[in-house]
Structure 1
Amino acid sequence: MLTLKGINQFYGQSHTLWDLDLHIDKGECLCLMGRNGVGKTTLLNVIMGQLGLKSGQMEFDGQDLTRQGVEQRSRLGIGYVPQGRQIFPLLTVEENLRIGLPARRDGKKAIPDLVYDLFPVLAQMRQRRGGDLSGGQQQQLAIGRALVLDPKLMILDEPTEGIQPNVVSEIGDIIKKLNKEIGLTVLLVEQKLPFARKVGDRFCLLDRGRNVADGAMGDLDEALIKEYLTV
């Protein structure tokens, strides 16, 4: 579904992504992992069109992504939950969710029932301002906002960051449900190894902007963890 080949990206004179390859099959959950500062969020921003490429190819669902703008990538079916959630604090829950509706491919103008089925708390708080929600509720709102697009691929950047443990477990269950029961393809950046093992089918390790290892989640052994993940 998503294929990246030979991706190179720079910040000024700093070479941040080096000849990076990545492939995600339809219906799988890939966990993008690595220590802080190795290029994970940079790669997501490149996929979403928020950062440009120096060289390389990106294809999504048979289409050349490098020729698509940010809004067009959403319309193609890529939902994005950024690090830090980035909801609109002064808008209500319902208003936050409705923001994604214009990007739907089918033109529907109603919030999908799926969002409120997955996150009943959002239905209960639909008239409450986003900034008044707890961190866990805001994360649910951010995921719900991405789901409003009816995406084919969901990209989540550290969805467990700053979230209380019971909500982390709930978010893990929801990601698994979206992936395994509904068939949504997932690209997940995650630092918490138990969470990644719970939801992921495959892993990809980044180090200094390079893809240094990938494989089935069961192949993420102690040697790789010690070399690329342990702080």
Structure 2
Amino acid sequence: MNKLYKFFELKKKNILCIYFTAGYPTISSTEKIVTTLQDLPVDLIEIGIPYSDPLADGIVIQNSNKISLKNGMNVSLLFSQIKKIKDSIRTPIILMGYYNQFYQFGEDKFLKESQESGISGLIFPDLPVNVFVKKYQKMFQKHLLSMIFLITPKTDPDRISLLSKITDSFLYLVSSNSITGEPILFGDKQISYFNRIQKLSPHVPKLIGFGIRDKKTFDFSCQYANGGIIGSSFIQSLNKNRLKYSIREYITSLFG
């Protein structure tokens, strides 16, 4: 049983997941951000592995990827950084990357390194579900890792049913057909979508991402799912000269 499964057994609502890009704003920021976040009311930490072509991401995360890569961040270095602090990490950590990174690093090696680093789950948005089931599902189970799947407003009911059956943690609900960081006006269209997913998979935890950026939108995500994922606006708030203070200030603003 992995940490994410245990976590969702214990906490059912108002779950806050914070996303940031490894190696941003500086190469040494990753460890500082993780250790600071876990002392705040943050339930899950999602770390993005910088990639040269992050297709689903908006300008904020794209820029953080460019700076991170320029700083020298890579998969091996990220695992090394996380291993240094893994014994003190209490908050479940998720890595988000792309299938090519997973494949090029070596799939079994990636999963082994993830387990040894204390990682709880992985997100590869472009990894086909049928490939995961046939080739990787047992490997993930062997290494006690969850695969987190994305659902969009265009995902058909049969696929939602399949993902609900094979997940052992939560479903990531993409709030709209847009990229990360876009200003989204949550209204009847999104509510209808979230309610539809809830009816199709009532017993599976769900977190809403894309457009969750402040207290109002986070509260909205908690109303229609188990919680929300915040990325772009958190990244924008990071001040490398006052890193810990800027993190505390941002997280506090979500509950004020």
Which bracket does the TM-score occupy, shorter chain normalised?
0.3 to 0.5
TM-score w.r.t. length of structure 2: 0.36
TM-score w.r.t. length of structure 1: 0.39
